[in-house]
């Protein structure tokens, strides 16, 4: 990415990202290492996984020093390489195929495939790689050779020696390929068949290396990964992964684990249960055993099953001995019972409801979709009452039955009755998914999806914040919009008629549904809602056995919407509306239903806009307002001076983290938006100077910018009567009690557990901003606590002034690397709206750094639509589309080039790349990178960045500053005055 013209981005330049790529180490082991690293202070840790390939990500910031960032980068790079050893195959964008081919080429090694299927598997991964031709024969000397191909058969002696071993024929064929080609290694992949799991092997001159594959909906990708990693390690002389076994060619091979449920050999993508794995609770000999040892009971049963259904099989004669007639009768009886059990099992497997049939691996991929639809089709062939298949990313899935599907006791077949019990997931009505303004409800008993009732736990919800319904020929993907407790028997103001809100074609019914689910949601979900949306709600029994329900409502993914699930952006709701019985149990006060509905109605009507968004849109007045009745807070006081900063490394005493399941009275951390925050932030107890009070240091008073022509004096705006103010609160224009209005705003902006001085700073800033607008500006509020009301009473009549006028005092969530001057937001300056430091934002803010991904085509389409710029005509290389990025001292982009157009970062944020659901760019402070057809825009801070940083104020207050000191810092040169 080309960036020119600025030397003010030292902080951003000091950022480093370490991405170590691993293969052959278990995710549990990787998580343990990361946990230990986090305990040692490793910054910005993340772990990504795909088909057993892992990426360890570390985000390093060197406090403005590139050298420091490099030092930390090298420190953790070395640490993780030591911890993971040979499992590390590269950094950054390095692919496993590249690493393997590079290792083979470096050591002048050659490998071949033992058969065409394996060759086809690998060629798709390596064909375009430059080193491939030097290390792989592409079948020319093995399975594609005109004369040698016919000789790729395992030796007959080997088959005779090990007649029942599935590994030996594959090893024999690989050994033949090795001998015919003169290569160093021959590789082979054997898909899963019946009770036999899939496996891969690499055959050398003397040793065969074997790995049994775990179940996967992308078995070929997983097999290729294992083959490439085994070749890479062998070429480099490294230790193979711990789950790779070896045996001497011609000697007994390890016994393969037995699958608990057989799979059709012709359909690799069919649902698969997990096989026995090393380290599991299964006996050790279930994993590794020589064929020379006694055959297991499972093997005996397989052999008996083959003989039972194969008429040509010759039953072995028992040793000659005197026959016992009673024994013969007993044996016959056992055989009859065995046949009956097999028959029952066939029927049961065909007709039983499928619970937990699909593993979470690959959820959302085309392979997973194909497997799910195939599974649904087969189930419908055996039972016409099957209507759909429901799948969640990590919880698996279940068949969903018609509303009138036969229940236990009805004559639908003995086997089905025995299997169904009362655990069928079923639709509540015959309404079809996907219809505009509908809410399809699926009842999910505990036995259908075991952990669905536990989605009130934040971590589990993050991993399962979407679900998919597969029906005849259609796939419906949903993003979870709300998770809430629901009591079907509840009446009165807090009741919610969920089952009565399935047809949402009526506008009032639609609004009742939207407001009902949002007011009750235990979590703030990063999913917006629109008039034409369609919904599905999963209803499960609450895990606490109270008789309540846990409802999970998903909004159907729109046609033009990316399929991203933004689990990391989920935060706990500030004050969800719970069932009445929960308040009765705890004695907590029930929040105002009217206030909640007003709030969420405003959220819905404004598309979820934040206070910062609304302030930015309403703009900055041409000049500060002259309001009647302004008096200096202290007539003898001079304007509050700019303060010196407290140390940012002050030790903090963390407050206990709230429960993952919000209960009445939960007090999460502040929100920077009209919606509440999620979790409590640690509050430091040590004051900046260690005495409990920050000591201001005088600084020169800022003076107004010179004006060429004196501005006309406006007529003073009458102030509201003492104790009242007119605002548009939650979308309703009204005259309100001043204290209650300001307390509601503070509660909404900072949540329920901010420091008192932060509340006061927010209250004074909000009061000043409202008066600066001169009308009835839109604000959002929530029901405050008595503590916040008391803070409002103490400062309700105070405002921020400059030269005797009410100051324009905007506020926002969190700053980037400092605050944004007003000219870079609204185009004109105020002497008190300049860039100041805000060091606590990174420590206290939620998602201070955030990345949004846009495809190359999305950027090109928007550039043409919004700017009339044809980026493909500008350059065929997307790396050249963005350039000439200029940032101010706080990291906000003031200018950039997109193709031939020069725009501001604010315009890119609010216009060009705005409107992508769930992918709003959170501030104009960002970096842009391009890779693999996607642009990644990493933002810092949240909001316009001008004026009072809410998280910054939280940090200052937690470290001993008073509200007047906080306001003096963010609005330098201003004074505090009273009004009314």
Choose the weakest-confidence range: 71-75, 350-354, 481-485, 496-500.
350-354
* Section 844-849 average pLDDT: 85
Has residue 856 got a pLDDT over 60? yes
Mean pLDDT along residues 66-83: 87
The overall average pLDDT reported for the chain is: 78
pLDDT(268) > 60? no
Q: How confident is the model at residue 571, as a pLDDT?
A: 82
Kindly state the average pLDDT of the residues 938-967. 95
Average pLDDT on 650-674 reads 34
The better pLDDT of the pair 178, 638 is held by: 178
User: In degrees to the nearest 10, what's the CA dihedral of 433, 434, 440, 443?
Assistant: 50
- Residue 151: predicted pLDDT: 79
pLDDT tens digits, residue range 536-565? 999 999 877 777 899 999 999 988 677 778
**Beta carbons of 265 and 193 less than 8 angstroms apart:** yes
Nearest CA to 615 among 251, 946, 155? 946
Instruction: Please compute Rg for the chain using Cα positions.
Output: 34
Beta bridge partners of 397: 391
Predicted local confidence at residue 798, as pLDDT:
95
- CA dihedral of 371, 374, 376, 380, whole degrees rounded to 10: -160
pLDDT at residue number 45: 84
The yes-or-no verdict on residue 9 having pLDDT over 50 is no
Q: How far is CA 339 from the centre of its chain?
A: 49
147: pLDDT strictly greater than 60: yes
- Number of Cβ within a 10 Å radius of residue 296: 15
- Please give the Cα distance from 22 to 20 (Å, whole number): 7
691-718 pLDDT, tens digit each: 333 333 333 333 333 333 344 444 444 4
Alpha-helical segments (H) within 593-694: 593-605, 611-618
- Over the stretch 821-835, which tens digit does the pLDDT of each residue have? 999 999 999 999 999
Over residues 759-768, the pLDDT tens digits come to 999 999 999 9
Q: Are 175 and 203 in contact (CB under 8 A)?
A: yes
Both tokens assigned to 776: 């009835």
Residue entry with tokens 């294992």: 226
- Position 446 confidence tier, pLDDT thresholds 50, 70, 90: confident
Locus of tokens 């999460």: 668
pLDDT bracket for residue 259 (50, 70, 90): low
pLDDT digits (tens, 9 = 90+) for 752-795: 889 999 999 999 999 999 999 988 888 888 888 899 999 999 99
CA dihedral 771, 773, 776, 779 (to 10 degrees): -90
| Cα–Cα dist 371/827, whole Å | 56
pLDDT of amino acid 319: 37
Tokens 């907590």 identify what position?
588
- Nearest by Cα to 847 from 746, 920, 795: 920
C-beta atoms surrounding 49 within 10 Å: 12
| Residues 924, 850 contacting (CB under 8 angstroms) | no
Question: Do β-strands 439-443 and 245-248 pair in parallel, antiparallel, or remain unpaired?
Answer: unpaired
Phi, psi (deg, nearest 5) at residue 511: -65, -40
CA distance linking residue 805 with residue 410, whole number of Å: 80
For the ranges 43-57, 472-486, 872-886, 887-901, the lowest mean pLDDT is seen at: 43-57
Per-residue confidence (pLDDT) for residue 945, from 0 to 100: 95
Give just the sign of the alpha carbon dihedral 709, 715, 719, 720.
Answer: negative
* pLDDT higher than threshold 50 for residue 807: yes
pLDDT at 643: 47
Taking the C-alpha atoms of residue 428 and residue 554, their distance in angstroms, rounded to an integer, is 16
pLDDT band at 83 (very low <50, low <70, confident <90, very high): very high
Nearest to 250 by CA among 155, 133, 116, 111: 155
What count of residues does the chain have?
Answer: 980
């Amino acid at each position: 990415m080309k960036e020119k013209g600025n030397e003010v981005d030292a902080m951003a330049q000091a950022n480093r990202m370490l991405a170590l790529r691993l293969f052959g180490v278990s995710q549990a082991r990787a998580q343990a290492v990361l946990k230990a690293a986090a305990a040692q202070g490793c910054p910005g840790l993340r772990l990504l996984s795909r088909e057993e390939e892992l990426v360890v990500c570390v985000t390093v910031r060197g406090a403005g020093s590139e050298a420091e960032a490099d030092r930390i980068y090298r420190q953790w790079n070395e640490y993780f390489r030591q911890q993971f050893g040979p499992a590390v195959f590269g950094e950054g964008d390095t692919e496993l195929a590249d690493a393997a081919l590079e290792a083979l080429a470096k050591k002048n090694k050659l490998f071949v495939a033992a058969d065409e299927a394996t060759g086809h598997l690998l060629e798709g991964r390596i064909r375009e790689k430059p080193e491939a031709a030097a290390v792989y024969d592409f079948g020319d000397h093995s399975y594609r050779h005109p004369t040698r191909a016919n000789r790729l058969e395992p030796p007959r002696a080997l088959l005779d020696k090990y007649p029942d071993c599935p590994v030996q024929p594959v090893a024999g064929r690989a050994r033949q390929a090795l001998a015919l080609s003169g290569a160093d290694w021959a590789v082979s992949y054997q898909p899963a068949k019946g009770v036999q799991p899939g496996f891969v092997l690499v055959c050398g001159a003397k040793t065969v290396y074997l790995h049994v594959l775990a179940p996967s909906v992308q078995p070929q990708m997983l097999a290729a990964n294992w083959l490439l990693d085994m070749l890479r390690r062998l070429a480099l002389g490294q230790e193979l992964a711990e789950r790779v076994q070896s045996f001497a060619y011609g000697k007994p091979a390890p016994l393969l684990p037995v699958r608990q449920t057989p799979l059709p050999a012709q359909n690799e993508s069919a649902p698969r249960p997990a096989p026995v794995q090393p380290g599991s609770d299964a006996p050790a000999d279930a994993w590794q055993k020589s064929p020379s040892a006694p055959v297991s009971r499972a093997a005996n049963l397989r052999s008996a099953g083959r003989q039972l259904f194969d008429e040509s099989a010759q039953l072995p004669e028992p040793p000659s001995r005197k026959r016992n007639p009673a024994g013969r009768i007993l044996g016959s009886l056992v055989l009859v019972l065995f046949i009956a059990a097999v028959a029952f099992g066939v029927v049961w497997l065909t007709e039983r409801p499928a619970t937990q049939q699909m593993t979470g691996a690959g959820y959302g991929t085309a392979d997973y979709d194909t497997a799910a639809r195939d599974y649904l089709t087969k189930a419908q062939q055996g039972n016409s009452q099957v209507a759909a298949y429901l799948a969640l990313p990590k919880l698996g899935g279940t068949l969903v039955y018609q509303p009138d599907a036969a229940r236990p006791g009805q004559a639908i077949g003995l086997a089905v009755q025995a299997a169904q019990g009362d655990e069928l997931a079923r639709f509540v009505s015959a309404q079809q998914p996907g219809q505009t303004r509908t809410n399809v409800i699926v009842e999910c008993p505990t036995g259908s999806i075991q952990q669905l009732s536990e989605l009130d736990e934040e971590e589990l919800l993050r991993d399962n914040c979407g679900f998919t319904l597969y029906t005849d020929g259609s796939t419906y993907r949903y993003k979870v919009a709300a998770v809430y407790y629901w009591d079907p028997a509840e009446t009165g103001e807090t009741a919610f008629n969920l089952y009565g809100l399935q047809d949402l074609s009526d506008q009032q019914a639609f609004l009742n549904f939207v407001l009902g689910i949002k007011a009750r949601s235990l979590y703030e979900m990063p999913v917006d809602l629109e008039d034409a949306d369609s919904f599905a709600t999963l209803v499960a029994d609450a895990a606490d056995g109270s008789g309540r329900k846990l409802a999970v409502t998903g909004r159907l993914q729109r046609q033009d919407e990316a399929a991203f699930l933004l689990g990391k952006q989920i935060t706990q709701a500030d004050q969800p509306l719970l069932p009445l019985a929960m308040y009765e149990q705890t004695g907590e006060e029930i929040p105002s239903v009217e206030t909640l509905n007003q709030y969420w109605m405003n959220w819905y009507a404004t598309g979820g806009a934040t206070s910062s968004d609304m302030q930015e849109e309403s703009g900055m007045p041409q000049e500060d307002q002259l309001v009647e009745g302004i008096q200096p807070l202290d007539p003898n006081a001079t304007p509050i001076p700019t303060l010196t900063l407290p140390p940012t490394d002050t030790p903090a005493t963390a407050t206990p983290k709230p429960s993952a399941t919000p209960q009445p009275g939960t007090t999460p951390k502040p929100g920077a938006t009209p919606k509440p925050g999620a979790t409590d932030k640690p509050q430091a107890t040590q004051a900046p100077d260690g005495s409990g009070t920050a000591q201001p240091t005088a600084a020169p008073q800022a003076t107004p910018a010179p004006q060429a022509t004196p501005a006309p004096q406006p007529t003073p705006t009458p102030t509201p009567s003492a104790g009242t103010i007119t605002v548009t609160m939650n979308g309703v224009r009204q005259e309100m009690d001043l204290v209650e209005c300001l307390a509601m705003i503070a509660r909404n902006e900072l949540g329920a557990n901010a420091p008192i001085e932060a509340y006061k700073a927010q209250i004074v800033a909000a009061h000043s901003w409202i008066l600066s607008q001169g009308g009835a500006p839109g604000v959002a509020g929530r029901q405050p606590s008595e503590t916040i009301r008391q803070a409002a009473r103490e400062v309700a009549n105070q405002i921020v002034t400059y030269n005797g006028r009410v100051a324009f005092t905007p506020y926002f969530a969190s700053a980037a690397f400092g605050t944004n001057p007003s000219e870079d937001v609204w185009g004109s300056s105020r002497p008190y709206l300049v860039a100041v430091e805000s060091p606590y934002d990174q420590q206290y803010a939620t998602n201070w750094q955030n990345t949004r991904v846009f495809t190359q085509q999305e950027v090109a389409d928007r550039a043409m639509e919004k700017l009339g710029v044809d980026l493909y005509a500008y350059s065929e290389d997307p790396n050249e589309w963005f350039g000439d990025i200029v940032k101010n001292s706080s990291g906000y982009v003031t200018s950039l080039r997109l193709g031939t157009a020069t725009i501001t970062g604010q315009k890119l944020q609010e216009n060009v790349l705005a409107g992508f659901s769930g992918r709003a760019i959170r501030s104009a402070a960002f970096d842009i990178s391009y890779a693999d057809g996607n642009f990644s825009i990493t933002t810092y801070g949240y909001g316009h960045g001008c004026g009072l940083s809410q998280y910054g104020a939280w940090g200052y207050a937690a470290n001993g500053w008073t509200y007047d000191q906080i306001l003096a810092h963010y609005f330098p040169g201003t004074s505090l005055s009273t009004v009314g």
